Structure 1
Amino acid sequence: MALLEFLIAIFGATMLLLFAVRMVQNGIERMKGPEFKRILTNAKNPYRAALAGTAMAVLLQSSAAVAILTAGFSTGGVLSIAMGLAIILGADVGSAIVVQILSLDLTWLAPVLMGVGAWLYLKFNGRNIRQTGRIMLGISLIIVALGFLRDAVTPIKESDLLPAMEAFLEADLVLAFLVGMVLAFLMHSSVAAVLMIAVVSAAEAISQPVGIMLILGANLGGALVPVWITRAMPIEARRPVVANVALRGLTAAFIATLYAYQLIDQWVHMLPSLVLVHFAFNVLLLLYLPFTPWIGSAVERAMTNGKGDHPTPMAERSLLDENALDSVQQSLASLRREVVRMTNISEQMIRESLAWYLCQKLPNFEQLERESNLLHNAGQAVRLYVTRMPSKEMTKAQFRRLRDLADYALSIEASTAILSQRLEGVIRAQHARNLYFSESGAAELRTIAEQCLHNMINSYELLVNEDIETAREIFRDKDELGMLVAKSRKKHLLRLREGLEKSIATSEQHLESLAALKELNAQLVSIAYPILKREGQLLQTRLILDGKGQEL
């Protein structure tokens, strides 16, 4: 019975810990997500890149999240392998700092954060204020979860079970290393895994040698998580995370071997806690920073796609299954897969185009034209496929889903037209005439482009999960982008009145960019409307009504 109670308590505390870490991460991403790419891609040397990675991991409380972001930015060559690896090495130090902070006795802080966080989240409508409340709630739940873990371990350490398990692992330190690796991988969070190991160790439920081997294994297991998540991404995205695993795995295995043979045990035992062992290990890995260019070159030679150093081409084969037309469920699934494929092509096009506003990188116009044709053909195929689906046999819910998918396919096509007919024209004109926005104007457009990319990612996630909270968040972000556009237009007109030369020269391009980005964002987030309407989350009209319910 004691064993069952222990397992239930450990399971509940672990799930709460993972949920809380994810809650903090989501809050930070939603509040500052559009700025992350600028922070990570502005680094000009490995040391600044590592510092950026450290700061990002402290904010997100997850080195894996930073590694996945880095992998995404590496697609298309925005980040080199060397800079990406440096960011990830720094992020691991950042997550170790988070572990250091959370391992302190902060039980007194939990009710304060919980009360203030809940008040901010429930009583305010501003996005940043609500996300600040979410972050505070998440941190308080992390503290509570760690308290649950301590309470769960304390009674069981007096039994025969835990000492027997600990003795088994101490007799085979290689197994302890593997257990730590598997634990961190399954939890998908090295922060949560290390905190759990540290709590168990602090309760004297495991010996220091076992704890050290678990920590070393958890460091490798945490690095494997981004590799698993990015396994389907282009090879450019996978290179930095694979390089990190190689360095981390070799270093962890080397140190574990030295420790197992008692060659460095005196130095390691000088560290007073396992969290300091974890921190020291990640700081040690920074010794690789000066060598990241050579490591990057070696990884690039080892990981080739057989087609030179070009991005992997977008899949051109339609996912519409003609054989599925006899079944409502299968044809809907086929349609959904094709719309997801269209979003992938659209995302590649949007990232390529908006790179001009984010980092002054000229897009590949030939690639954009090719992908535009792909989307146009896919849109035509979707419309034809919809007419042949067995709509008479559908339930109301299935027919709504069909309509929503078809409408969103049209929105994706419309977004392509905005890119090719409006933004591409602006970029070509600026490049041909060697025109550049003013510093203030460029910053405004960059912020709007970042917000547009952020909304695009959330919208594509909504296509898969149909989460009502995500839909509400997207709707708020749409209004926020509209306010950013209005403020930028007003500031631009003020700059024109002041006679700023660059603003006058690029006035047409600036205003056209604002209008196009706003329209592009409206098309991207249109997937949220049917979900909100279906759930009764939208008002019928925004017009003020008089006392009789008539429009004024």
Structure 2
Amino acid sequence: MLTLLNLLSAVALLVWGTHIVRTGIMRVYGADLRRVLSRSVSKKPMAFMAGIGVTALVQSSNATTLLVTSFVAQELVALTPALVIILGADVGTALMARILTFDLSWLSPLFIFFGVVFFLGRKQSRAGQLGRASIGLGLILLALQLIVTAATPITHAAGVKVLFSSLTGDVMLDALIGAVFAIISYSSLAAVLITATLTATGVISFKVALCLVIGANLGSGLLAMLNNSASNAAGKRVALGSLLFKFIGSLIVLPFINSLPNLLHKLPVNDEDLVIFFHVFYNLIRCLIMVPFAGTMAQVCERLIRDEPETDQRLKPRYLDPSALDTPALALANAARETLRIGDVLEQMLTTFGKVVHGEQRQDREIRKLDDDVDVLYTAIKLYLAQMPKEDLPEDDSRRWAEIIEMAVNLEMAGDIVERMSSDVADKSLTARRAFSVEGMAELEALLDQLVGHLRLSLSVFLSRDITSAKRLRRAKHRFRITNRRYSYKHVERLHQQNVQSIETSSLHLGLLGDMKRLNSLFCAVAYNVLEQPDDERDEE
């Protein structure tokens, strides 16, 4: 039992090491890798090579699949080149499997030692993240060594020999077990490595080992489908295409599985290495053959998975790409873009509120819908940023994280205020048939126009973090407060003059002036964040 636990923990360590490498590489080179993928889609050979290169760096075809899926989901990359990149990723992960199975155990302590030194010494810097990747690579090499060590005594157990002795002839059953093996271990590399160990100790025949390898590749495709089960239709098509390519490849090679062992045994290589080489060349040949049919596969996937009908009319997040979370700069940029969308919705609310003030009571319901959209985007941004702990970010990114959160909160509060203002006007003015005075209406219109301008300027300051624009916004805030105060005095003068309309709408009018003052403060708060930047950042601006 202890030996089995050692094996399972070694497999878990392998998966964890792969995750650490991917995180470190994505945080340092994530933007560059995304740029490589997005610019390599014009020609299939370039897309294929990009898939190999990116996967070799991040040590995971699943990570490459997530990147490509996000591109397709955002309609930045077509499905055909995306499938070509995925085929290249399959070759990349097979090549890395061959490299990692060399006797590199002596490198493991070096990678871990220097990685820890750099990571703890300069955790938030580029060197620290490369140290993180070094730790992950060392853990991968250590895990591979532990897998072999733990699997060896298991292969000598009588129960294991009896269990695997049943894998003697049913090709489809053997392949299915290999797929299950890959899913359970969450790594086709671990499944292939354990299969090679079982072959070297004579527990399974070479023919069965080849079936298990083919099944392990199929299992990695099933894993991709499971990982993208919650994705939209575009993302599911990428995973389905990858799975179908692997399924077709297995159907083509399995009928020849009886003759392959005799052919491969002519090579001067032991059975254990032959399993690894078969894994590499099977993926290489399969993917090269499948590349010309990527367009056809894309059409098949589009027919099998249709776009879901839009039943929810609420606005949905557009830029919050989960695969960008490993690259903080990109993830923060995505969150900032989504925050700008809240600003766009809020501008619609202010414009619509102007119609409500002019007597269009039906527009009050439109404002409520728009406020629901604001709440949806705000919640999505908040949960997205919550997946990026502020304490793990570099100082600049941590400051930007806080700015985005504060801006999103302010805009959400502003949306609530506009909704309440609209409801007050609808209930206390339109329903009660009490109209604002001509002068009061003109004052509200003037303030509303200023609010729209200040909102636009605040969004510009939030995006550019420009010092000059921030000072301009701060001055605009003070001018608005002075204007608001002057309009309050004028309203009191109209009350003194016994203006009937002003008397009837007095509490509503003064309440709207106060709400507009709060809106202006929320819009202009971003200016103070920019002006409080450290001196070195101001110099860079």
What is the TM-score of this pair, normalised by structure 2? 0.61
- Which residue of structure 1 aligns with residue 281 of structure 2? 280
Residue 248 of structure 1, CA deviation: 0.8
Q: Find 2:63's aligned residue among 58, 62, 65.
A: 65
- Which residue of structure 2 aligns with residue 169 of structure 1? 167
AA aligned to 1:478 is: D
Partner deviation per Cα, 1:306-354 (whole Å, 9 max, x = no partner): 76xxxxx58435xxxxxxxxxxxxxxxxxxxxxxx96x35638xx9xx9
- Which residue of structure 2 aligns with residue 266 of structure 1? 262
1:519/1:366 CA distance change after superposition, 3 Å: closer
Match of 1:36, SS?
A: helix
AA aligned to 2:280 is: F
Residue 108 of structure 1, CA deviation: 0.9
Give the Cα–Cα distance (whole angstroms) in 2 for the partners of residues 89 and 368 of structure 1.
41
Residue 302 of structure 1, CA deviation: 3.5
- Which residue of structure 1 aligns with residue 114 of structure 2? 116
Q: Is the 8 A contact 2:123 2:129 kept in 1?
A: no
1:7/1:64 CA distance change after superposition, 3 Å: same
- Which residue of structure 1 aligns with residue 199 of structure 2? 201
Q: Find 1:145's aligned residue among 143, 146, 163.
A: 143
Give the Cα–Cα distance (whole angstroms) in 2 for the partners of residues 201 and 513 of structure 1.
63
Residue 152 of structure 1, CA deviation: 1.6
AA aligned to 1:304 is: R
Q: Is the 8 A contact 2:115 2:135 kept in 1?
A: yes
After superposition, where does 1:311-322 map in structure 2 within 5 Å? Answer: 313=310, 315-316=312-313
- Which residue of structure 2 aligns with residue 236 of structure 1? 234
- Which residue of structure 1 aligns with residue 378 of structure 2? 412
Partner deviation per Cα, 1:525-548 (whole Å, 9 max, x = no partner): xxxxxxxxxxxxxxxx9999xxxx
Give the Cα–Cα distance (whole angstroms) in 2 for the partners of residues 376 and 58 of structure 1.
50
Show structure 1 runs of 4+ deviating over 6 A. 365-376, 511-514, 541-544
1:229/1:518 CA distance change after superposition, 3 Å: farther
Q: Does 1:18 align with 2:19?
A: no
Q: Is the 8 A contact 1:49 1:86 kept in 2?
A: yes
1:381/1:290 CA distance change after superposition, 3 Å: closer
Q: Find 2:24's aligned residue among 24, 27, 42.
A: 27
AA aligned to 2:307 is: N
Q: Does 1:347 align with 2:320?
A: yes
- Which residue of structure 2 aligns with residue 92 of structure 1? 90
- Which residue of structure 1 aligns with residue 463 of structure 2? 517
- Provide the aligned length of Structure 1 versus Structure 2: 379
AA aligned to 1:91 is: A
Structure index of larger Rg: 2
After superposition, where does 1:462-541 map in structure 2 within 5 Å? Answer: 462-463=385-386, 470-474=389-393, 476=395, 478=397, 515-517=461-463
1:281/1:368 CA distance change after superposition, 3 Å: farther
Match of 1:79, SS?
A: coil
Q: Is the 8 A contact 1:64 1:189 kept in 2?
A: no
Give the Cα–Cα distance (whole angstroms) in 2 for the partners of residues 289 and 207 of structure 1.
32
Q: Find 1:221's aligned residue among 219, 222, 226.
A: 219
Give the Cα–Cα distance (whole angstroms) in 2 for the partners of residues 369 and 543 of structure 1.
30
AA aligned to 1:517 is: L
- Which residue of structure 1 aligns with residue 52 of structure 2? 54
1:132/1:66 CA distance change after superposition, 3 Å: same
After superposition, where does 1:368-517 map in structure 2 within 5 Å? Answer: 380-381=371-372, 412=378, 460-463=383-386, 470-474=389-393, 476=395, 478=397, 515-517=461-463
Partner deviation per Cα, 1:258-277 (whole Å, 9 max, x = no partner): 21xx2443334456421111
Q: Is the 8 A contact 1:28 1:59 kept in 2?
A: yes
AA aligned to 2:20 is: M
AA aligned to 2:112 is: M
Partner deviation per Cα, 1:231-278 (whole Å, 9 max, x = no partner): 22221222222112111112113312321xx24433344564211111
What is the TM-score of this pair, normalised by structure 1? 0.60
Give the Cα–Cα distance (whole angstroms) in 1 for the partners of residues 138 and 94 of structure 2.
19
Identity %: 25
Give the Cα–Cα distance (whole angstroms) in 2 for the partners of residues 124 and 235 of structure 1.
41
Consecutive unaligned residues of structure 1, counting only runs of 5 or more, are 308-312, 318-340, 384-408, 416-455, 483-510, 521-540, 545-552
Q: Is the 8 A contact 2:151 2:194 kept in 1?
A: no
Match of 2:320, SS?
A: helix
Q: Is the 8 A contact 2:155 2:198 kept in 1?
A: no
Q: Does 1:295 align with 2:292?
A: no
Match of 2:195, SS?
A: helix
Give the Cα–Cα distance (whole angstroms) in 1 for the partners of residues 367 and 57 of structure 2.
40
Match of 1:170, SS?
A: coil
Residue 378 of structure 1, CA deviation: 7.0
Residue 296 of structure 1, CA deviation: 2.0
Q: Is the 8 A contact 2:14 2:140 kept in 1?
A: yes
1:257/1:132 CA distance change after superposition, 3 Å: same
Q: Is the 8 A contact 2:342 2:377 kept in 1?
A: no
Residue 190 of structure 1, CA deviation: 2.2
Q: Find 1:41's aligned residue among 33, 38, 41.
A: 38
Give the Cα–Cα distance (whole angstroms) in 2 for the partners of residues 38 and 281 of structure 1.
29
Partner deviation per Cα, 1:200-238 (whole Å, 9 max, x = no partner): 434544332222111100101101222112122221222
Give the Cα–Cα distance (whole angstroms) in 1 for the partners of residues 154 and 207 of structure 2.
20
Give the Cα–Cα distance (whole angstroms) in 1 for the partners of residues 19 and 400 of structure 2.
26
Residue 371 of structure 1, CA deviation: 11
- Which residue of structure 2 aligns with residue 191 of structure 1? 189
AA aligned to 1:101 is: I
1:290/1:139 CA distance change after superposition, 3 Å: same
AA aligned to 1:280 is: F
AA aligned to 1:6 is: T
Residue 37 of structure 1, CA deviation: 2.4
Q: Is the 8 A contact 1:345 1:371 kept in 2?
A: no
Consecutive unaligned residues of structure 2, counting only runs of 5 or more, are 350-365, 402-456, 467-531, 536-541
Q: Does 1:75 align with 2:62?
A: no
AA aligned to 1:472 is: E
Q: Is the 8 A contact 1:379 1:410 kept in 2?
A: no
1:411/1:237 CA distance change after superposition, 3 Å: closer
Give the Cα–Cα distance (whole angstroms) in 2 for the partners of residues 188 and 379 of structure 1.
43
Partner deviation per Cα, 1:148-205 (whole Å, 9 max, x = no partner): 2222222233332222122112243332211111122233332333233334434544
Give the Cα–Cα distance (whole angstroms) in 1 for the partners of residues 368 and 33 of structure 2.
34
Q: Is the 8 A contact 1:481 1:518 kept in 2?
A: no
Give the Cα–Cα distance (whole angstroms) in 2 for the partners of residues 111 and 18 of structure 1.
18
Residue 69 of structure 1, CA deviation: 1.4
1:303/1:279 CA distance change after superposition, 3 Å: same
Match of 1:347, SS?
A: coil
1:237/1:411 CA distance change after superposition, 3 Å: closer
Residue 88 of structure 1, CA deviation: 0.1
Partner deviation per Cα, 1:24-75 (whole Å, 9 max, x = no partner): 1121122222233211111111111011111111111111211121111001
Partner deviation per Cα, 1:486-539 (whole Å, 9 max, x = no partner): xxxxxxxxxxxxxxxxxxxxxxxxx9999543569xxxxxxxxxxxxxxxxxxx
Q: Find 2:307's aligned residue among 305, 322, 326.
A: 305
